Structure 1
Amino acid sequence: MTLWTPDPTFYPSPRDAREAPPETRAYIAAFDRKGERPDALAVLDTETGQVIGWTDLPNKGDELHHFGWNACSSALCPYAPHPHVERRYLIVPGLRSSRIYVYDTKDRVSPELVKVIEPEELGKRAGYSRPHTVHCGPEGLYVSALGGYGDEGPGGIAVLDHTSFNVLGRWEVDRGPQYLAYDFWWHINHDVLVTSEWGTPSMIEDGVVGELLLGRKYGHKLHFWDLRKRRHLQEVDLGDQYQMPLELRPAHDPTQKYGFVGVVTSVEDLSASVWLWHEEGGKWAVRKVIDIPAEPAPVESLPEVLKPFGAVPPLVTDIALSVDDQKLYVSAWGTGEIKQFDVSDPFKPVETGSLRIGGIVGRTPHPAAPQALAGGPQMVEVSRDGERVYLTNSLYGAWDDQFYPDGVGAWAAKINTDGFTFDERFFPHGEDFRGLRPHQVRLQGGDASSDSYCYP
């Protein structure tokens, strides 16, 4: 008789996940802005920051973005169990090429390519292009996409098989008024899925379009869905001045029904913000709980896109919630700041820490190296035990070029949350990334934004 035992990196509850052993490897997606050479997956030693593994992709011009694991702790959920799968494969989307790559990480340092899903398969079977974010969840792998098969909208979610990685089809049965897409997550025990909005491919691929931003045409809504029935339930508008609600971070505790979303900017004052979604009177509601103002700056020190405003916007492009739901980390890519908030009361966050690195004007160096840095805290990831925070500095090729026209550089950093200080041993930068720009980090065995849990 065959006895199936779940992957040891699957945890039934967030409490169990916090007791997991520390990660020893970090996987980073890095891309070539010019598209003249392949993008790559870099593997870092999390103690030293040294690059210990490297895998070039087989094609050029992919622009790797938000990748994820093929399976995670949701495989232990009782209504859709997959205890025989392993957290083994990285599912890696190319945002510009619409390809999706599958890489095997088992028993090897440098990931090995095992499958390529071409744009035609994604388009013909699911009706989507520009794959963006990957989550492992009930009944399969979920991949959000910004565009339809004809490049523009509507964007949405495609579902892939857990083991064959074949595209099964479009997730939505009834999308209601939803058209723009970006991130998605869920309250898995409550059959609720949440999606956010950015823009269609033509709205983002050449950078921020000033007319669209000032015209309030980028996304500004959240959408709530029935996860099982795959039907749209409710649309909540943050207000069209709040442009681009991007990253979604629901509570890890599966008994809770709230979460946070970061908003890139307000067209009224260039501030950024974080909002809380929650239930209120049987409906979903949102509330702004964190406001981060723009910082005045000399016009001559600003890139062209910001000169008319005379200020640096924070540009909150990522947020991360610790597995115990106590700390929220907010990256302000424009001002070069990473903030820590106590969110034990999610309605009343309290700022408990702040560090500067990079920034459009500040160019704050890392303590391990004296040189001024471009870029800023962009993608942020938290270890399962909540003791380490990882940062990468590139947002998206065309947007990098607009806000850092003299070059965004390449670097990653680690923060020790005990004392909230940079780890001076961990600072891969420059040629460590072989001329590529690092965008996102995933941690060996999972991290704070990889897993959802079905037991409290």
Structure 2
Amino acid sequence: MTRWTPDPTFYPSPREAVTAPAEKLAYVAAFDRTATRPDAIVVLDTDPDSPDYGRVVGWTDLPYVGDELHHFGWNACSSALCPTAPHPHVERRYLIVPGLRSSRIHVLDTQPDPRQPQIVRVIGAEELAKRAGYSRPHTVHCGPDGIYLSALGGADGAEGPGGIAILDHTTFEVRGAWEADRGPQFLAYDVWWHLTQDVLVTSEWGTPSMIEDGIIGELLLGRRYGHAIHFWDLAKRRHVQRVDLGDQYQMPLELRPAHDPTKSYGFVGVVISVEDLSASIWLWHRDGDAWAVTKIIDIPAEPADPANLPDLLKPFGAVPPLVTDIDLSVDDRFLYVSCWGTGELRQYDVSDPLHPVQTGSVHLGGIVRRTAHPSAPDEALAGGPQMVEVSRDGRRVYVSNSLYGAWDDQFYPDGVGAWLAKLDVDVDAGGLTPDERFFPHGEEFRGLRVHQTRLQGGDASSDSYCYP
């Protein structure tokens, strides 16, 4: 649908986005690990003045089974206000929801009732393969000229290369592959950009066979998973530079560029080092005419009794942090780092990006700790803070606990459960506090696992801006 005036949830600059009204709903991707029931988009009430605060208030089952919903996003966002955008009047109305295992893409309309999104289209795996040459869609980002969809696999059973497909903002048709010249890039994961600088950045995980049945120890120790990020000419769709972090740093996943469009830096989280099981955060930045990366945070593994560890970790006698998501507040001040293995969410002040300072930490779950939520102190939690979402004003952080079905089962073999927590942020001094009123978990999700959260009206990881 096309509007005659810009969507009121679009903001030209991050400074204005920070003043946006608080979200009243959150949309959550939930999936059935057994693939015998449909996955669902679950709607949570996030209005603290509502009698339903912290509860499930909407539920939309998908039409098929076996999707394993992953990173979903909006059809349009603040990037539509960029001066080169050909679609400045689209609405932030539709959720684009990929199934990582099925390669299906679901389009859900959040109007007229935002609590009951309706499925309006399903793009089959065959259309994605035929028109873009890709499979296993992973991450959705709303760009100024279309919907960018990263994919891990190739078409017709090909392991790769993975890459980016483009969908139309309004018809949702698959336009084709984004890349005109991919250079040495083969593995794929996340995609982000510096819009005003015509720079696109991608990261690496693995091909479908490398990830769909869990982490493969031989490949990990053989340093075969991704360990580089790639820089592209956004306008020409051409690969410019590959920057290798070093093959001991396996799986640089989530990319978080500065929201300020005048800045030329961003953060990438590395899941694990094969040398010591640590995790790390790296900063990409300009180095003359080229790009460089600098490691700015090391998070060490924690020693543990092998008897308390899953089989994969017993030989090491330690719990790796397993940084599986990071998120950057809209004002570019706080970076949030999820340590899914140790069950910790860390907050860093990154006002000086090269010299971060830790300002907060909350433990929930963890492979060994199993830290309970304050509202249910007798319930040991499995899983840990995994996907992270930050409100536009930076005052609320939402975390969900499932990573990916097969990986959940490896690291939490007794079950990962299902929970989602909200943390309140001290935006002046830093620090995080769990909200005891907001902890949907267990049977509230009807036996499904919960992966990612999107906030009504936008959030810190869905929008990008062209004005400072």
Q: Note whether the superposition's TM-score is higher than 0.5.
A: yes
Residue 432, structure 1, aligned to residue 437, structure 2: no
Indicate the residue corresponding to 2:300 in structure 1. 293
Matched letter for residue 36 of structure 2: E
Which residue of the other structure, out of 300, 303, 310, is the alignment partner of 2:310? Answer: 303
Q: Report deviation, 1:139.
A: 1.5
Indicate the residue corresponding to 2:208 in structure 1. 201
Q: Report deviation, 1:80.
A: 1.6
Q: Report deviation, 1:83.
A: 2.1
Residue 138, structure 1, aligned to residue 150, structure 2: no
Residue 373, structure 1, aligned to residue 381, structure 2: yes
Which residue of the other structure, out of 152, 165, 170, is the alignment partner of 1:163? Answer: 170
**Equivalent residue of 1:362, what SS?**
coil
Q: Report deviation, 1:81.
A: 3.8
Cα distance in 2, alignment partners of residues 73 and 16 from structure 1: 11
Cα distance in 2, alignment partners of residues 416 and 250 from structure 1: 23
Indicate the residue corresponding to 2:435 in structure 1. 423
**Equivalent residue of 2:5, what SS?**
coil
Q: Are 1:151 and 1:201, in contact at CA under 8 Å, matched by a contact in 2?
A: no
| 1:383-413 deviation per Cα after TM superposition (whole angstroms, max 9, x unaligned) | 0000000000000000000000000000000
Cα distance in 2, alignment partners of residues 396 and 454 from structure 1: 33
Residue 57, structure 1, aligned to residue 62, structure 2: yes
- State how 1:390-405 maps to structure 2 within 5 Å: 390-405=398-413
Cα distance in 2, alignment partners of residues 27 and 329 from structure 1: 20
Which residue of the other structure, out of 87, 93, 96, is the alignment partner of 1:88? Answer: 93
Q: Are 1:320 and 1:381, in contact at CA under 8 Å, matched by a contact in 2?
A: yes
Task: Give percent identity, aligned residues only.
Answer: 78
| 1:264-294 deviation per Cα after TM superposition (whole angstroms, max 9, x unaligned) | 0000000000000000111000000010000
Cα distance in 2, alignment partners of residues 45 and 363 from structure 1: 26
Q: Are 1:261 and 1:274, in contact at CA under 8 Å, matched by a contact in 2?
A: yes
The count of corresponding residues between Structure 1 and Structure 2 is: 455
Indicate the residue corresponding to 1:444 in structure 2. 456
Q: Report deviation, 1:138.
A: 2.6
Q: Report deviation, 1:110.
A: 1.4
Q: Which runs of 5+ in 2 are unaligned?
A: none
Cα distance in 1, alignment partners of residues 229 and 3 from structure 2: 43
Indicate the residue corresponding to 1:174 in structure 2. 181
With 349-358 and 416-425 compared, the bigger mean Cα shift is at: 416-425
Normalising by the residue count of structure 1, what TM-score does the alignment of the two structures yield? 0.99
Q: Report deviation, 1:420.
A: 1.3
Which residue of the other structure, out of 68, 71, 79, is the alignment partner of 2:76? Answer: 71
**Equivalent residue of 1:308, what SS?**
helix
**Equivalent residue of 2:210, what SS?**
helix
- State how 1:34-433 maps to structure 2 within 5 Å: 34-46=34-46, 47=48, 48-108=53-113, 109-149=115-155, 150-370=157-377, 371-418=379-426, 419-433=431-445
Q: Are 2:178 and 2:237, in contact at CA under 8 Å, matched by a contact in 1?
A: yes
**Equivalent residue of 2:312, what SS?**
helix
**Equivalent residue of 2:359, what SS?**
strand
Cα distance in 2, alignment partners of residues 17 and 139 from structure 1: 21
Indicate the residue corresponding to 2:16 in structure 1. 16
Q: Are 1:4 and 1:83, in contact at CA under 8 Å, matched by a contact in 2?
A: no
Q: Are 1:192 and 1:227, in contact at CA under 8 Å, matched by a contact in 2?
A: yes
Cα distance in 1, alignment partners of residues 4 and 30 from structure 2: 36
Q: Report deviation, 1:4.
A: 1.7
| 1:355-392 deviation per Cα after TM superposition (whole angstroms, max 9, x unaligned) | 10000000000000021000000000000000000000
Q: Are 2:3 and 2:91, in contact at CA under 8 Å, matched by a contact in 1?
A: no
Matched letter for residue 79 of structure 2: S
Q: CA RMSD in A?
A: 0.9
Matched letter for residue 18 of structure 2: R
Q: Report deviation, 1:3.
A: 8.3
Cα distance in 2, alignment partners of residues 85 and 94 from structure 1: 24
Indicate the residue corresponding to 1:7 in structure 2. 7
Q: Are 2:3 and 2:89, in contact at CA under 8 Å, matched by a contact in 1?
A: no
Cα distance in 1, alignment partners of residues 129 and 258 from structure 2: 32
Cα distance in 2, alignment partners of residues 120 and 221 from structure 1: 30
Cα distance in 1, alignment partners of residues 458 and 3 from structure 2: 24
Cα distance in 1, alignment partners of residues 226 and 8 from structure 2: 39
